[in-house]
Amino acid sequence: MRELPRKWFSNSRPLPLDENRKINLSMESEINEEKTYDPDPKISERFMGRMFDQIKMPDGGRIIRLYRWDESEFDLPRDIANHNIFRLDSHGRIVWRIKRDDGRFLTWDAADQIAKRDDPNSEGFIDPFTSIGDHFFERHPLLNRGFYHPKFEIVIFDTYAPGRLLGAATNWLGYDIDPETGVATCTGEQMK
């Protein structure tokens, strides 16, 4: 296992936070560039142009999603952007990086060709995960009562146990993540 690049998570110029962890610009002159900044793991924070969403795992690790803060921040490389969900152990080392199983819902070669046709400088199609769930769930099959009836019931849990899934979405499609393997299976659910 290796660690994520520190530059993704360390802000060379930390936000001026008061004792209540609120931004206080009057403290700006007191900032020490050498001082490290340890964020509250219960909330999303900004680190050098990166934010992350996270959900905690029972082993002390967490599953995180990296994303851009705004248009002024540099892009993640295409491969990382399209696989921007990671499971970290309790020491911050990578357990897995998301593996996408898009099935018949997305053909990467075709999407890359279209992206490069539209922008010759493009690395290819970029479709990062834009959200992850804040609860785990299980899908329970329902009796098929017809074409327009639900095929399953989703049961929500606050904690992870084997067999439970985590939801995620890109701008276009929904995914079920297996927290053990890191495989994100496209559900075909349209997000837009």
Helix spans in 19-107 (H): 78-81
How far, in Å, CA of 78 to CA of 83, rounded?
Answer: 9
Q: Is the pLDDT of residue 10 over 50?
A: no
pLDDT score, position 5: 59
Residue 62 has phi, psi (to 5 degrees) of -160, 160
The mean-pLDDT minimum among 13-27, 60-74, 87-101, 129-143 falls in 13-27
Q: Which helix (H) or strand (E) holds 88?
A: strand 85-88
- Lowest average pLDDT, out of 6-15, 90-99, 182-191, goes to 6-15
pLDDT digits (tens, 9 = 90+) for 104-141: 888 888 988 998 999 998 888 988 898 999 999 998 88
Which of 9-18, 40-49, 62-71 has the highest average model confidence (pLDDT)? 62-71
Residue 177: is it exposed, middle or buried by C-beta count within 10 angstroms (0-12/13-18/19+)?
A: buried
What average pLDDT score do residues 17-42 get?
Answer: 49
**What does the domain layout of the chain look like in residue ranges?**
6-190
